[in-house]
A and B are shown apart, each in its own frame.
Chain A
Amino acid sequence: MDQTKTKGYKQVKQWLKTHKRKPFQFQEEAWQYYLNGYSGLVNAPTGFGKTFSLFLAVVIEALNASENSNKKAKDRLQLIWITPLRSLAKDIARAMRETLLELELDWHVGVRNGDTSQAEKVQQKKSMPEILLITPESLHLLLAQKGSSTLFKNLKCIVADEWHELLGSKRGVLVELAVSRIKGLQKQEKQQFLRVWGISATIGNIEEALDVLEPDADTKRIIVKADLEKKILIKSILPDDIETLPWAGHLGLKLAYKLLPIIEKSKTTLIFINTRGQSEMWYQHLLNIEPELAGRIAIHHGSIDFELRNWIEDALHTGQLKAVIATSSLDLGVDFKPVDTVVQVGSPKGVARFLQRAGRSGHSPHETSKIYFLPTHALELVEAAAIKEAAKTNNIESREPFIMVFDTLVQYLVTLAIGDGFDDKVIYNEVKNTHAFKMILPEEWSWVMQFITSGGDSLSAYNEFKKVTKDEDGLWKVKSRQLAMRHRLHIGTIVSDAMLKVKFLSGGYVGMVEEYFVTRLKAGDNFRLAGRVLEFIHVKDMTVIVRNSKQKNAISPSWNGGRLPLSSNLGSVLRKKYNEALDKTHQDEELDVVYPLFLLQEKRSHVPRNDELLIELINNKEGFHLFAYPFEGRLVHEVLAALVAYRLSKLLPISFSIAMNDYGFELLSETEIPMDESIAYEVFSPKNLTEDITLSINSTEMARRKFRDIACISGLVFQGYPGKYVANKHLQSSAGLFFNVFSDYDPHNLLLRQAYDEVFYQQLEEPRLAAALERIQYGAIVITHPKSFTPLSFPIKVDSLRENMSSEELEQRISRMKAESDKIK
């Protein structure tokens, strides 16, 4: 059907015309494909109306359809719009409502996520809106409701907005599973109008992104690409003198004064900081150095109260704010027109994220996005140069989809069992047709079913286990209300520590802090949240009660966010930049500034060339340090360091503490580390790689750490939940304990295997590691013995996140550690 002849298309075209707008070509294409029954993916830069490319497609179809008013309230749902961030939903809903009103289409738009009030959720249950904006977690919560299976009867389309953002996480798997269920429900009803569409920024694996969202090769699928290019201007904020910048650190406050003129001459500036804790410090610092900014800047992150965040977002729209300090909470999609400048503080760790953030400014088509990079330590200037180059060559990362995540599957099946129950044969087929579980074996499926119904593979070992049981109607269900309630509180795959709400004594919420942080506070202590200094009074009913403090300075809570590793794309560009820096074969002003540091590195040790591996051996009162610099990114270094430590520990009994960053890693021991050229080639050899990696992973904590998330997602460990703390002391335990228990008593547990697999396949990227070792074998290994720390080694040395590896007898180790500490006393 040619859409241009349709009533709906003409109406929409006319409406756009009255606003002096014309559809982009990719939008018209998307509408046409949608009308022809295609599923697909829209790939367009931010600011070009990605939302309208799909929203209007559904609207056109609705306008074309003859009036149909006797729809039952319950199954009015036409379009599910999945957004990764709560903050996106509100703005998209507003834009949709305005459009619907002007097009005189009597549709309701509802928002459903963690911020939605209970009353509104109940109202939605009675009468679903036609369009529902929802997060992946809330979509699963919807499936966990009784009677939910009838909601999707007339659903026409599911859109996964910012799909690139969801794809590389277990949240993407949540979307895959929910889509598979909704498709299955329509199939049962012999209704099949459902089309599944994604909206994605440019990523390295765009075809795969579509394949994950719509894995059925028999459906009509298409990628609609916008042939538009966003202009981006990248500029580094350079210190006048390299001495200004520290060799390590994450804060970068020393250059803050250079931001003031940028803020002043811009309309509105978004300042992206990598962590919530640091953003609080930046906010305070900017006010300290420029009190004039008071009332004109704000702070926005995920732990700030919903109402406050709303206020800030509104103020951003209306241009009342000169600058907002933000974390990834403002990363995506929302269109703040007044924002014309973006500042990135510290390394964004990847090209895609950097470009995404840049796109937050100059949001309208054909405007130029402007982003400044502010380094927090000296070597980050090299990263800046690398990012600029990678952005220029469009060297954008892939987002690897998660597969075979049994924790998420376990959670999903219990979710269904809480809702209307499920038939295991039907669900097996649906699950097997998703991208994430297409490789699942029948015995693995049986194991998962056993795990939720009888506890585990050995019946006797799990007697009295109660969770999912078969009902009289033959469906698997959860009978216990208590169990159902607990499960609902834990739906989702984002694992965080227990969070407590922070509230003023006089009323009004400020935000949230981690329980761990609160346990260290005494009455009268001051801390910073949402840019205010607060005095801690007490904890009552799982709420932290505070009052405004007159103090200027206070501690900032640290929220335990994950650390982002450098992407491999950026890593290889970085290696190249190190070579260019010393040779001065470059055009980058950043590298000129950092040049003296390279001279110092060369003087104290050596600057590694592309075909060289540098090893530095430093001996001081802390012990014997070995630093190596493969430039492969933090995750690969973690595995590589464990591998090298393991191989060294086979030579003699020795204990290491291990640290790493994106450039290299450190092994630290109290006894001398055996190292010369021949040992180096041996421990960095690609021979016996798989076997040695397995053994080294077993002897460190890597799998155990992965298991933390797995234990929460699969429901073994209960984390707290903001405001809704389930006090059940008798069921308290820890992921570490479960890791031990399963290792000792149920080693075939698939969740345990998943922990090892996650290290092996997601973290390790074995081909990347093998290639790195191959490169090292055929290149030169340079061993130096610097007298003190070098510009390269210092940032690793101060890193506190550490791994351990030992081949010594435990008792011997204790007595030696004790002897050492006695000497120190």
Chain B
Amino acid sequence: MTITSHGEELILDKERALYLPQHQLLAISDLHLGKSAHFRQAGVQVPATIGQSDMQRLSGLIEKYRPKTLLITGDMFHHGLNTDIDDFSDWRNAYADLKLLLVKGNHDKLSHADYASMQIEIHDPSFCLGPFCFIHDAPKNDADELYPISGHIHPGVTIVGKAKQRLKFPCFYFGNSYAVLPAFSLFTGLYNVYPKNNERIFAVTPKAVVEV
């Protein structure tokens, strides 16, 4: 689905990603690399295939849009280094030409050397581009002129219909003062957001992105 925000064209992809064609930039949030391995190390049985499928989805997006830049608005790495991260390094080598920017999130606690070894350019606390400012957790009361696009909360929306029907989806949130991207990783939960008047919510269903 394509929308216009602050004079720029934005493509909302059902694989929980945002593409900015003018800048050839693909933005995702909350990748949580290494989360499944972190659970396994702690004795909780989470199959590694879930992390691998996140990487396959990311590859698919890169083949689809062929962006110059991949921007991650925080929580790229869940905890420390582990085998999931090794898998990511291999992936990174396969896309060596891709510029990779990370706006640091609360989970991103790796060392500078680790980021450098994976050719990740760090931006802390934010990365600004055109009318937008990408930041992990949107400021609650900002005086900034740029429109913040954030992640962090793993937004979800519950649609309530007649006859007591309810559906819940991950979503993109475009509010009056900031926007929130859905969490990219499939191994994440949802936090319900409630739009005020004139604010826009786009639900991510298995087949499409739908405005609600």
Residues on A facing B (Cβ under 8 Å)? 451, 455-456, 458, 460-467, 478, 480, 482-483, 622-624, 655-657, 668-670, 715-716, 730-731, 733-734, 736-738, 740-742, 744-746, 802, 804, 810-811, 813-818, 820-821, 824
Contacts and interface: CB of A to CB of B under 8 A. Distances in A.
B42 A818 contact: no
Contact of A483 (B38, B42, B189): B42
Nearest to B78: A730
A439 to B, nearest CB: 24
Nearest to A454: B45
B137 to A, nearest CB: 15
A466 B83 contact: no
Contacts of B186: 740-741
Most chain A C-beta atoms within 10 Å of own C-beta, residue among B37, B48, B82, B208: B48
Contact of B212 (A480, A670, A818): A818
Given A737-B189, A814-B210, A624 B163 contact: yes
A738 B186 CA distance: 11
A465 B163 contact: no
Nearest to B106: A729
Contact of B165 (A451, A670, A736, A815): A670
Most chain A C-beta atoms within 10 Å of own C-beta, residue among B42, B45, B187, B205: B45
Most chain B C-beta atoms within 10 Å of own C-beta, residue among A738, A745, A813: A745
A802 B165 CA distance: 9
A462 B45 CA distance: 7
B116 interface: no
B162 A623 contact: yes
Nearest to A741: B50
B161 A465 contact: no
Given A730-B38, A814-B210, A815-B210, A467 B43 contact: yes
Main secondary structure of the interface of B (DSSP, over half): loop
Given A657-B163, A731-B38, A810-B205, 19 more contacts: A655-B163, A656-B163, A657-B165, A670-B163, A730-B79, A731-B44, A737-B187, A737-B189, A742-B47, A746-B49, A804-B165, A804-B166, A810-B207, A811-B205, A811-B207, A813-B167, A814-B159, A814-B205, A818-B159
Contacts of A811: 205, 207-208, 210
A622 B165 CA distance: 11
A460 B48 contact: yes
Contact of B46 (A466, A734, A741, A817): A741
A463 B37 contact: yes
Nearest to B208: A811
B128 to A, nearest CB: 29
B94 interface: no
Nearest to A718: B44
B48 A463 contact: yes
A810 B43 contact: no
Nearest to A821: B161
Given A624-B163, A669-B163, A734-B189, A745 B50 contact: yes
B197 to A, nearest CB: 10
6 contacts: A462-B45, A462-B47, A657-B166, A670-B163, A731-B39, A817-B162
B44 A715 contact: yes
Contacts of A816: 161
A802 B46 CA distance: 30
Contacts of A624: 163
B140 interface: no
Contacts of B208: 811
A464 B163 contact: no
B41 interface: yes
Contacts of A467: 43
B164 interface: yes
A338 B67 CA distance: 80
A465 B163 CA distance: 46
B34 to A, nearest CB: 10
Given A465-B40, A657-B165, A456 B160 contact: no
Nearest to A820: B162
Contacts of B203: 814
List 4 A-B pairs, minimum CB-CB distance, nearest first.
A817-B161, A623-B163, A467-B43, A657-B164
Interface string B32-64: 000001111111111111100100000000000
B40 A464 contact: yes
B81 to A, nearest CB: 11
A736 B82 CA distance: 25
Contacts of B161: 670, 813, 816-817, 820-821
B206 interface: yes
Nearest to B188: A737
A381 B1 CA distance: 57
Given A745-B49, A811-B205, A811-B207, A463 B159 contact: no
